[in-house]
Amino acid sequence: SQTIHQWPATLVQPVGSPLSLECTVEGTSNPNLYWYRQAAGRGLQLLFYSIGIDQISSEVPQNLSASRPQDRQFILSSKKLLLSDSGFYLCAWSVMGHNQPQHFGDGTRLSIL
């Protein structure tokens, strides 16, 4: 069966520090991969999606970036965090193709001080 792992589960970082969140998927090949942010009391905002290695689309302008160095690995990064980057970050995967459901990791709670 397929599984998705995200880490760390929680992270507290000072403003201006770098960020690296990692997500890996097991049990499937060539998945679509996604990064979402969920601010407190709000819905999900799609940040990035990827349909293959080094194929990444950004949905919103921001100081975050994403990379996909391997087929089942998706990394969310920042060189200098802002207070507004606080939130709950979720990674998700789906099989390729239209109208497929997405399957989510357990999320990373990021607090910026």
Contact flag: residue 7 with another protein (CB under 8 A)? no
Contact flag: residue 99 with another protein (CB under 8 A)? yes
Stretch near another protein under the rule CB under 8 A, chosen from 12-20, 38-46, 68-76, 78-86: 38-46
Residues in the chain: 113
Contact flag: residue 74 with another protein (CB under 8 A)? no
The answer to whether 39 and 87 have CB atoms below 8 angstroms apart is: yes
Q: Which of 7, 58, 86, 107 is the binder for another protein (CB under 8 A)?
A: 107
Segments of the chain assigned E as strands: 3-7, 10-13, 19-26, 32-38, 44-52, 55-58, 64-70, 73-78, 87-94, 103-104, 108-112
Stretch near another protein under the rule CB under 8 A, chosen from 14-22, 64-72, 74-82, 95-103: 95-103
